[in-house]
């Protein structure tokens, strides 16, 4: 395999509805889409960095800079036998996992397509329906939230995650529990609490949540360990798990009992496979997170979710919850049983619709070996 050209585009897609978290409200996604080519074959990748550096320090503009100045030139024209080798070609760029992941994951798609195999095969997974959950943003009232939960459950989803922040935690959880006592329910704070909020979070122990996701700051591993020791509810880390080293540290410290894998946050599929191996060896449950991806990133996520360590429902839901139309056609849909079928065919199994991609593109550039 030899990457002969790389095309980058900044793509703008409005969200079907705004998504509010403890760090702000998103009403559109503007991301870098990557196409890598070898001969007549194209691999696709989607960068999960957002326009604002709120979920993580990375941004769309920053990813464009790092990709065009450092990462793309380092891989163009370099022979490779496997996408795992791409990490060895990177110049010494610290961080920028999302920029690295987008190019790395496009290369995995290209590799799988060149082998005429589905991506899940080359990742070491086995095609199976993927159990799907939804992530529901902060709502204007507990009543509005319960209505949203009802409509998501009518679509079949197997678990519900709600976003929380100080002042929007116990009341919305109790409102859902009053109507759905047995629902598989969890909360995600996106780092909105401090260790001294422990007693407030311990009130949620009564609500039998599957987990509390990322209650404290991204670099608070030691504080998470202290908090976990004081809670019955399992802590799941998202923002903190920037790669295999952070995952090993978090597990050694007892900072979490569950890990959310997002390949974009960790630098791609290579580091994700390493975290998957580490977590399964230690019997730590995993699930696949989401970053409001278009159908391209969503398809990548579904293929990775086929690995055996992903034992809990993921944040990988139907396209129509995010974008209508999606960049891909047909869009990704959820079955009545709350599972999603992994797209068939070589690589990720989907490609952008030309006209939609052109209409959504704000800026693009092509680089050749």
Tell me how far CA of residue 79 lies from CA of 74, 83, 181, 264, 284, in angstroms: 11, 11, 56, 24, 37
Residues paired with residue 99 on neighbouring β-strands, in sequence order: none
By beta-carbon distance, which residue lies closest to ligand OSB?
290
Q: Which stretches of 204-340 are DSSP H helices?
A: 221-230, 244-253, 263-266, 269-281, 295-304
Residues 189-228 that bind Mg ion (CB under 5 A): 213
| Closest distance to ligand OSB from the beta carbon of 63 (Å) | 15
17: which 2 tokens? Answer: 């509805």
- Picked from ligand OSB, Mg ion, none, the partner binding residue 302 (CB below 5 to 8 A depending on kind) is none
Judged by beta carbon, residue 36 or residue 221, the one nearer ligand OSB is: 221
Map tokens 């209409």 to a residue: 359
| Closest distance to ligand OSB from the beta carbon of 218 (Å) | 11
| Closest distance to ligand OSB from the beta carbon of 98 (Å) | 11
Judged by beta carbon, residue 25 or residue 230, the one nearer ligand OSB is: 25
Out of 117, 163, 226, 245, pick the active-site residue. 163
- Picked from Mg ion, ligand OSB, none, the partner binding residue 290 (CB below 5 to 8 A depending on kind) is ligand OSB
Applying CB under 5 A, among 50, 58, 188, 293 the residue interacting with Mg ion is 188
Residue-by-residue DSSP string for 235-273: EEESTT--SHHHHHHHHHHT--SEEEE-HHHHTSHHHHH
Q: Cβ neighbours of residue 257 under 8 Å, at least 6 residues apart?
A: 211, 228, 234, 235, 236, 284, 285
| Closest distance to ligand OSB from the beta carbon of 188 (Å) | 5
Which among 38-46, 90-98, 220-228, 233-241 is the span making contact with Mg ion, rule CB under 5 A? 233-241
Specify whether 245 is catalytic.
no
Helix axes 295-304, 97-114, angle to 10 degrees: 80
Judged by beta carbon, residue 103 or residue 237, the one nearer ligand OSB is: 237
Out of 100, 161, 165, 262, pick the active-site residue. 262
Residues 238-267 that bind Mg ion (CB under 5 A): 238
Q: Cβ neighbours of residue 344 under 8 Å, at least 6 residues apart?
A: 118, 127
- Picked from Mg ion, ligand OSB, none, the partner binding residue 291 (CB below 5 to 8 A depending on kind) is ligand OSB
Judged by beta carbon, residue 213 or residue 293, the one nearer Mg ion is: 213
**φ and ψ at residue 363, rounded to 5 degrees:** -165, 140
| Closest distance to ligand OSB from the beta carbon of 55 (Å) | 5
**CA distance linking residue 125 with residue 215, whole number of Å:** 31
Say if residues 112 and 122 touch (Cβ distance below 8 Å).
yes
| Closest distance to ligand OSB from the beta carbon of 231 (Å) | 19
58: which 2 tokens? Answer: 């990375």
Write out the residues near ligand OSB by the rule CB under 6 A: 55, 135, 188, 190, 238, 289-292, 315, 317
Q: Which residues are catalytically annotated? A: 163, 262
Residues that bind Mg ion (CB under 5 A): 188, 213, 238
């Amino acid at each position: 395999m030899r990457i002969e050209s790389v095309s980058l585009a900044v793509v703008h897609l409005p969200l079907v509805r705004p998504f509010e978290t403890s760090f702000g409200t998103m009403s559109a996604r503007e991301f870098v889409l990557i196409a890598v080519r070898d001969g007549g074959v194209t691999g696709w990748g989607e960068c999960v960095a957002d326009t604002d550096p709120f979920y993580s320090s990375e941004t769309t503009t920053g990813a464009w800079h790092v990709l065009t100045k450092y990462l793309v030139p380092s891989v163009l024209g370099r022979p490779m036998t496997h996408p795992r080798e791409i990490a060895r070609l990177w110049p010494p760029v610290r961080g920028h996992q999302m920029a690295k992941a987008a190019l790395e994951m496009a290369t995995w798609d290209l590799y799988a397509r060149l082998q005429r195999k589905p991506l899940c095969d080359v990742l070491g997974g086995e095609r199976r329906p993927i159990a799907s959950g939804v992530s529901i943003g902060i709502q204007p009232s507990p009543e509005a939230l319960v209505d949203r939960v009802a409509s998501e459950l009518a679509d079949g989803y197997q678990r519900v995650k709600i976003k929380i922040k100080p002042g929007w935690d116990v009341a919305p959880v109790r409102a859902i529990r009053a109507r759905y006592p047995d629902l598989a329910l969890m909360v995600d704070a996106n780092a909105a609490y401090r260790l001294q909020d422990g007693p407030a979070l311990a009130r949620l122990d009564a609500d039998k949540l599957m987990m509390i996701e990322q209650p404290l700051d991204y670099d608070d591993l030691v504080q998470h360990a202290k908090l976990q020791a004081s809670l019955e509810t399992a802590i799941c880390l998202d923002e903190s798990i920037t790669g295999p080293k952070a995952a090993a540290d978090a597990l050694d410290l007892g900072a979490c009992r569950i890990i959310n894998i997002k390949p974009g946050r960790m630098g791609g599929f290579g580091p994700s496979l390493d975290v998957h191996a580490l977590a399964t060896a230690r019997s730590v449950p995993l699930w696949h997170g989401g970053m409001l991806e278009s159908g391209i990133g969503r398809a990548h996520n579904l293929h990775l979710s086929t690995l055996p360590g992903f034992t809990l429902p993921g944040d990988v839901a139907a396209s129509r919850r995010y974008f209508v139309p999606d960049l891909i056609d047909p869009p990704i849909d959820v079955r009545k049983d709350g599972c999603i079928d992994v797209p068939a065919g070589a690589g990720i199994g989907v490609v952008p619709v030309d006209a939609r991609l052109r209409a959504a593109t704000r800026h693009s550039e092509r680089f050749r070996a």
